[in-house]
Amino acid sequence: MTRRQNRNLIRIVLSFALLITASALPLSGIFRLTACLAAYLITGYDVILEAVRKIFRGQLFDEQFLMAIATIGAFVLNEYSEAVAVMLFYQVGEWFQSIAVGKSRKSIASLMDIRPDTATVIRMGERVTVSPEEVQKGEIIEIQPGERTPLDGVIILGETSVNTSALTGESLPVDLKTGDRIISGSINLTGTVRVQVESEYEFSTVNRILELVENASAKKARIEGFITRFSRVYTPIVVSLAVLIAFLPPLIFSLPFSEWIQRALIFLVVSCPCALVVSVPLSFFGGIGRASKSGILIKSSSDLEMLSKIKTMVFDKTGTLTKGAFSVRRVVSAKNDEAEVMKYAYLAERHSGHPIAKSICASYETQESLPESANVTEKSGLGVRAEISGAVILAGNEKLLSQFGIACVSPPDAYGAVVHIAKDGEYLGFIEVTDEIKPKAKISVQKLKTLGIAKTVLLTGDRREAAIRVKDETGIDEMLSELLPQDKLTAVEALIEHSSPIAFVGDGINDAPALTRADTGIAMGTMGSDAAIEAADVVLMDDSIEKLSEALKIAKKTMHIVRENIIITLGVKIAVMLLGAAGFANMWLAVFADVGVLIIAILNAMRTLVYNTKKAA
């Protein structure tokens, strides 16, 4: 607990002890008043002072004003113990609230530990310790075992295992070697590595995450806005009703003022809307904190509320449902010599930076010494022409080979990218390269449907055959293929018209327009483009598509708890307000209807922090 929480707890205990003592001793008159007034001021002086300050600012109708009027009125009516009890239990509720908020903040603030304070940069052959903000793109940094990675980069020397749990929620370490990318905020576990910095600190993964978390409460949910507006109208109405209860019956029916003023004070105590005002934002805060523990960053409470309403989930293909890493599916030779096809494909493609070329080269293994390629020409959208020991090698699509008058064999059952190989005008065969579907993609899509997602849609710029394969293997309902970025946006807008609300899930720069336009944009992974992460409302900190169902469960659970708190709070308060106005409720029942309901609502809101999505599966 903080110092302030400890201090308030001491005040509560002292006030309670004084109240018990004053009740137990045979005190009367001025002595009983003095003892109860001391207990009252110990626990409630700050509430009275705040109410007075707000009166001078013109802010009459808030919880401090209601508490001050109700308790001072109780003293006037000689109900000293009740006045102290109202203030005492109000402060107990405030103390519970501060504990709950502190716990919520702690769960989110734990992410702040991922911010490294220093970086060891290699300059002029010397190790120099500087702030991460001072390191420039392209510089070399050294990371020792146990240190946090200060900046994003590529390992150029050494190998290690890293802990990315603070970023992704994944507890298993990840093995990295030379050439692999390492992200800021991860903990280096085993070996010393040197890393070439890819981006300055301002654009690093860790800084982007912290900015998202710090701005998480910037936008209020619609339901939070409703509560704020409700309180502004509700409080003046209940104060006016309390005045009418206090004075109207005595004036009209000549009834005793003391009884009806007491009823009005009970009405005021019950009517305080603090349980509603506190528990709703606290529920959202807890939901955002719970999601962050699982590596799911929800940018605001309004985004969390919208996520809970999603009925249509729209997916990009590459990097979302598939790994975004190509592999050779099959090699077909016109002369029954697959090794020859792979050999010449490797020789032609080994200097290309294209992902398909890289996947072919990664699949080729040989012990023989191979000749160097010469006069390599990469033809955009077609393939590669290269000369190997005087022979002309072509590796590309049908259009490339047709330019040289070479007929190809087009496989009718191919759903991946087909690379045709020819040597000196002779057709050798083809290699089919596919993007692997993520292992848990099908299960994840099924889970989404059990959580209320009525329709799933695939939007991709890939060929129709590849899109059909992904649709069939994952169980997605509908698909559109061969789309340009603007076509994806048009498709999303059409879906919004007919099946809103929708979420779009993607990871590339070309997904940014659709992510922005969708009711909820969800960006996949820290490796996703800056544009996608900036445009999205929800960011999944790794490429695990199963996190989608977890995010949906947390959002739905949070909204369920919010609705529970609204129903419980309003239900109890309205019932006791009516009882109080009719003379069937005393001050103790009023205290429960206010502070008791506040504590119940706070404890209920805290359930979001400990919600177990695995058990809820």
Cis check: omega of the bond before 501, within 30 degrees of 0: yes
* Long-range CB contacts for residues 197-200, cutoff 8 Å, separation at least 24: 197/135, 197/136, 197/137, 197/138, 197/139, 197/140, 197/141, 197/151, 197/152, 197/153, 198/137, 198/151, 198/152, 198/153, 198/154, 199/137, 199/151, 199/152, 200/133, 200/135, 200/136, 200/137, 200/151
Strand 538-540 versus strand 520-524 pairing type: parallel
On whether the CB atoms of residues 350 and 363 are closer than 8 A, the answer is no
Does the residue 148 lie in any domain? yes
pLDDT band for 97, please (50, 70, 90 cuts). low
Residues 314 and 369 in one domain: no
Stretch among 379-383, 468-472, 517-521 having the lowest mean pLDDT: 379-383
- Torsion angle defined by CA atoms of residues 241, 242, 246 and 252, in that order, rounded to the nearest 10 degrees: 0
**Entry pTM:** 0.69
Does the residue 388 lie in any domain? yes
Does the residue 382 lie in any domain? yes
pLDDT of residue 137: 92
Out of 303, 316, 462, 519, the active site residue is 316
Residue that the structure tokens 């190989």 belong to:
421
pLDDT of residue 22: 85
C-alpha 537/C-alpha 183 separation (Å) is 21
Does the residue 583 lie in any domain? no
Residues 362 and 401 in one domain: yes
pLDDT tens digit string along 145-203? 989 899 999 999 998 888 876 665 454 577 888 998 888 888 898 889 999 999 888 88
Q: For every residue of 309-330, which 3-state class applies, written as one string?
A: HCCEEEECCCCCCEEEEEEEEE
Terminal-residue alpha carbon distance, the chain: 34
Question: Could you tell me the CATH number of the domain that includes residue 454?
Answer: 3.40.50.1000
pLDDT tens digit string along 112-151? 456 788 999 999 989 999 999 999 999 999 999 989 899 9
Give how far Cα 285 sits from Cα of 300, 549, 597, 613, Å: 9, 20, 19, 17
In terms of pLDDT, which residue wins out, 169 or 98?
98
Q: Which of 25-29, 369-373, 377-381, 405-409 has the highest mean pLDDT?
A: 405-409
Question: Could you tell me the CATH number of the domain that includes residue 170?
Answer: 2.70.150.10
Stretch among 42-56, 105-119, 299-313, 319-333 having the lowest mean pLDDT: 105-119
* Paired tokens of 303: 């985004």
Residues 299 and 400 in one domain: no
List all residues 6 or more positions away from 333 whose beta carbon is below 8 Å from its beta carbon.
Answer: 340, 341, 428, 429
Q: What is the mean pLDDT of the chain?
A: 83
On whether the CB atoms of residues 129 and 143 are closer than 8 A, the answer is no
Question: Could you tell me the CATH number of the domain that includes residue 362?
Answer: 3.40.1110.10
% of the chain exceeding 70 in pLDDT: 88
pLDDT of residue 161: 86
pLDDT tens digit string along 37-89? 999 999 989 989 988 888 888 776 666 777 787 788 778 777 788 788 878 87
Residue 297 pLDDT greater than 90, yes or no: no
Does the residue 14 lie in any domain? no
Residues 376 and 467 in one domain: no
pLDDT of residue 170: 52
Residues 146 and 185 in one domain: yes
Residues 362 and 468 in one domain: no
Interhelix angle 464-474/441-450, rounded to 10 degrees, is 60
Stretch among 293-297, 429-433, 460-464 having the lowest mean pLDDT: 460-464
Using DSSP, state whether 396 is helix, strand or coil: strand
Q: For every residue of 114-160, which 3-state class applies, written as one string?
A: HCCCCEEEEECCEEEEECHHHCCCCCEEEECCCCECCCCEEEEECCE
CA atoms in the 13 A half-sphere facing the CB of 350: 16
Residue 27 pLDDT greater than 90, yes or no: no
pLDDT of residue 120: 94
Residues 444 and 356 in one domain: no
On whether the CB atoms of residues 316 and 505 are closer than 8 A, the answer is yes
pLDDT of residue 216: 47
CB count, 10 Å around CB of 52? Answer: 13
pLDDT of residue 606: 82
pLDDT of residue 100: 63
Residues 369 and 506 in one domain: no
Choosing from 199, 223, 238, the residue where a domain stops is 199
pLDDT tens digit string along 415-434? 778 899 999 999 999 999 88
In terms of pLDDT, which residue wins out, 15 or 66?
15
Choosing from 554, 578, 612, the residue where a domain stops is 554
582 membership: H or E segment, kind and range: helix 547-582
Residues 446 and 530 in one domain: yes
pLDDT of residue 528: 55
- Torsion angle defined by CA atoms of residues 93, 94, 95 and 99, in that order, rounded to the nearest 10 degrees: 100
pLDDT of residue 527: 53
Choosing from 421, 437, 453, the residue where a domain stops is 437
Stretch among 73-87, 249-263, 416-430, 437-451 having the lowest mean pLDDT: 73-87
pLDDT tens digit string along 470-497? 999 999 999 998 786 678 888 998 998 8
Residues 342 and 419 in one domain: yes
Q: What is the mean pLDDT of residues 530-559?
A: 85
- Burial track 98-116 (b if 16+ CB lie within 10 A, e otherwise): bbbbebbeebbeebeebbb
pLDDT band for 217, please (50, 70, 90 cuts). very low
Closest listed residue to residue 421, CA positions, set 332, 535, 294, 317: 332
Does the residue 528 lie in any domain? yes
Does the residue 231 lie in any domain? no
Residue 275 pLDDT greater than 90, yes or no: no
Residues 373 and 499 in one domain: no
Q: What is the mean pLDDT of residues 363-376?
A: 80
Does the residue 30 lie in any domain? no
Domain that holds residue 431: 323-437
Residues 420 and 548 in one domain: no
Indicate the number of domains in the chain.
3
Active site residue 316: yes
